[in-house]
Structure 1
Amino acid sequence: MAVGASFVSTQDAARALGVTVQHVRRLADSGELVRVARGLIDRASLESYIAEGYGGRTRVWAEHTAWAAVAMLSGVHVDWLGPTQASRLRASLRAMTDPADLVTRTRDRATLRTYSAHPSALHRLLDQLVIADANGLGLVGARVDFIDGYLDVAALESTERSFALELDPSGNVALRATGFDLGVVRELAGHGVVLAALDAATSRDPREQGVGERTLAEALERFR
């Protein structure tokens, strides 16, 4: 994507919103985003949509609620929600049929930033992150030169400095900074495929997106 360009790709728009590419296309079809050409979205309409709170149609869950949803779908006990809140969340998940809604509602589990890093830094960076286990998705080794992982939000700036990371929407490192208990995040990353599927559903790779969305649809079906 060219710096200063008046448009963004649907893939970059999806990553900016934390939703699927299909969701971005639906927003363009409904007129909430302006499509300037096939696969391209008007940048100003995207920025306006973000400024207005993503249209307000789908409520985004708070960080701790989003992680609780991941845990419930993964079959992990949730002990950080009260009984009433947990019951409401279960009901919401059982009523949900579109994986795009799940991707949108859980996007605030972490703040996603994409960077460019020197290839020599990738191996060292792996030791600093919690990486969702993609074995169950069949995507292992799909992008050996790309890292996507979670870290404590308090460590984000020091990690940027230590590894000389440069913000780049088309870069080779995706950092997901969260203020939630990283121990729980680590447990969920290695328990089932839900977290890996959520990450894959907003990937720039169409194959990964499709696998992520199908896996989330199956997880919602099982939960019902």
Structure 2
Amino acid sequence: MASIDIITTKEVAHLLGVTTKTVFRLIESGDLTRAARGLVDRASVERYLANRQGGRTRVWSEHTAWGALALLSGLTADWLGSVQTSRLRSTLRSIDTEDLIVRLRDRATVHTYTGHRSVITRLSADDRLVVVDTTVLGQVADTTQVNAYLDPAHLATIVGSLGLKQAADGRMTLRVTTFDIDRVRRIANHGTALASVDAATSLDPRTRGLGERTLADSSTRLTA
């Protein structure tokens, strides 16, 4: 097993511009991964920073974020009022890709895991999950990883039954959202917006760049 690159909580606080008390809260909430007493997995810090670039940008609520993704996917957001939808569409036409990624951040809470390779097949076939198809971005299918959304009610059961272990650099990404999972599935199955925004926060520079470009394309089509 590869060694874990670690960083002290004091160093994390300096990087994030917060107090060590805030760092401990981030560890307890699962936003950062504890490696040992007083130490944090560096990959989890990098992931946290990637998800929070442009921190001064106002983040949308979960329902608004999914409304934006629906519009970017060419769908209607019928859970939003007509005035809110109109304002949201106008905002999508005016903001840049970096701001858009930040605003969409709270669509779900991200958990990453490691586990036996066979687990990926089982996760991909689990109808409680909405698996995001990265091939719509032009990537070759990768059977060594999975990226999926699910209702919080199922997370503990799935993690426990499959023996998943939380790891900041894990290749099994489960994104927990309280938004209606059938609507999430519909958005995932239309267009590239959801796959794009997921890719845009990847720790891999090539995947991140691809996600940013395809998300920008979705925004461009909205303004056409």
- Equivalent residue, structure 2, for 1:110: 108
Q: Are 2:5 and 1:2 aligned?
A: yes
Matches within 5 A, 1:1-224: 1-3=4-6, 5=8, 6=11, 12-17=44-49, 19=51, 23=53, 54=55, 57-97=56-96, 99-128=97-126, 129-141=129-141, 143-224=142-223
The answer to whether the Cα contact below 8 Å between 1:96 and 1:220 also exists between their aligned partners in 2 is: no
Give the SS at the match of 2:183.
helix
TM-score when scaled to structure 2?
0.77
Paired residues of 2:7 and 2:42 also in contact (CA < 8 A): no
Counterpart position of 1:39: none
In structure 2, how many angstroms separate the alpha carbons of the residues matched to 1:135 and 1:172? 16
Name the aligned partner's letter for residue 60 of structure 1. Answer: V
Structure 1 residue 134: deviation in Å? Answer: 2.3
What is the TM-score with the length of structure 1 in the denominator? 0.77
Q: Give the aligned CA root-mean-square deviation in angstroms.
A: 2.1
Q: Distance in 2 between matches of 1:109 and 1:18?
A: 15
Distance 1:107 1:162, change over 3 A: same
Contact kept, 8 Å, 2:6 with 2:42, in 1: the verdict is no
Q: How far apart are 1:110 and its partner, in Å?
A: 0.7
Residue by residue, what CA displacement relative to the aligned partner does 1:18-48 show, whole Å, maximum 9, x if unpaired?
538xx4xxx6xxxxxxxxxxxxxxxxxxxxx
Following TM superposition, the consecutive aligned residue runs of length 4 or more in structure 1 with deviations greater than 6 angstroms are 8-11
For residues 37-88 of structure 1, give each alpha carbon's deviation from its aligned partner in whole angstroms, at most 9, with x where no partner exists.
xxxxxxxxxxxxxxxxx4xx11110101000000001100110001121111
Output the CA distance in 2 between the equivalents of 1:4 and 1:11: 10
Match for residue 22 of structure 2?
none
Q: Which amino acid aligns with 2:133?
A: D
Shift of 1:9: 8.9
Unaligned residue ranges in structure 1 (runs of 5+): 28-53
Q: Which runs of 5+ in 2 are unaligned?
A: 13-39
Instruction: Name the residue aligned to 2:15.
Output: none
Give the Å deviation of 1:3. Answer: 4.4
Percent sequence identity over matched residues? 45
Please tell me whether the aligned partners of residues 41 and 168 of structure 2 are also in contact (alpha carbons under 8 angstroms): no
Relative contact order: is structure 1 or structure 2 higher (C-alpha 8 Å, sep ≥ 6)? 1
What count of residue pairs does the alignment treat as equivalent? 189
Q: Deviation at 1:17?
A: 4.5
In 1, Cα distance between the equivalents of 2:122 and 2:181? 19
Distance 1:168 1:80 in 2: 35
CA contact (8 A) 1:19 1:100 kept: no
